[in-house]
Each structure stands twice: as structure tokens, then as C-alpha cells.
Structure 1
Amino acid sequence: NGVPVNVEAVGLVRIGSSEEAVQTAVQRFLTSDLNELQRQINEILAGSLRGITATMTVEDLNSNRDTLARSVVEEAGGDLARI
């Protein structure tokens, strides 16, 4: 509707439990700056949240928070798995 909204969110990211996911995470954490990883994760989650909220009405944002959360997980999941 073109109505500006301010959305506050808290994201929790965890490493998958598969052996491959753990090995990938260990390699990434050993070779990367943790602040840079945190910045990348924040950008991915914020971008996904912005994209999804842009498609929803204010009423949907308020009444369908579980749907919003699931959509962010689906949207960001692939990008997060690559880092």
C-alpha cells in the first residue's frame, strides 16, 4: 500500500547437524574473520526480511508473524548455507 513500516527482528542462526554442515562451518570459522561472517549473516537476513515485508500488507505483517518468520527462513536459508 506504500505505507512505510519499521520492522524490528531478532535472528538466530545455527549450524546444521549433518557432518558436511559441521565440517563446512569449522573450515569457515577457522579461515574467516568472525566480524565479517556476522556482517554477511546480518545482510542476508535483513535483505530477506526487507524483500518479504515489501510484499505483505501492514495487516498481514501484524497478524501473520509466523508466516513472515517461515518465509525469511526459506528465503535466507540457501544463502546462509553457502557461507
Structure 2
Amino acid sequence: MIIDRFIRYENFEEDILELKRSVSNLKGLYDTFRNIKAKSGIRSNASYDLETIYCNHPELKNKIRSLHNFEITNFGYPAL
């Protein structure tokens, strides 16, 4: 792996601020990104009911586990 640091969506502010502390020429980086609302309003909250989605599509759980094993294992995400 060649990546020095991961910035996780759920820790976005903390991770960006930590990156800024270690790389001085990134001043203002968090301010640049903090108001961006990518895909805001695209999906309703109902579309995120993962329990229902996995119950209706059990093969999906195995596919996600297979495709994203690295993230699940290395970032402490709960197993599906």
C-alpha cells in the first residue's frame, strides 16, 4: 500500500484537520470542503434501511463483504 493516510467520511473533519497539522501548505483545506453537500437530497432516508435491503437481497451482504473486506477489516466497521 502506498497511501500514507485515509480520510474516512464519518471522521471527515477530524481526519482533514489532522492532515492539515502534518502538511503545512494545506491551510484552509477543511474550510474548502466543509460546506460541500455531495448528493444531498438525492436519496430519501428510507433508501438507507440496510436491514431491510439485506433481508430482501441476502446475496448483496456477501457481495459487499467480499468487495469491501479491506475496509471492514482495517477500519473496524461491523461485519454485515
TM-score above 0.5, yes or no: no
TM-score range, shorter-chain basis?
under 0.3
* Structure showing greater Rg: 2
TM-score normalised by the chain length of structure 1: 0.25
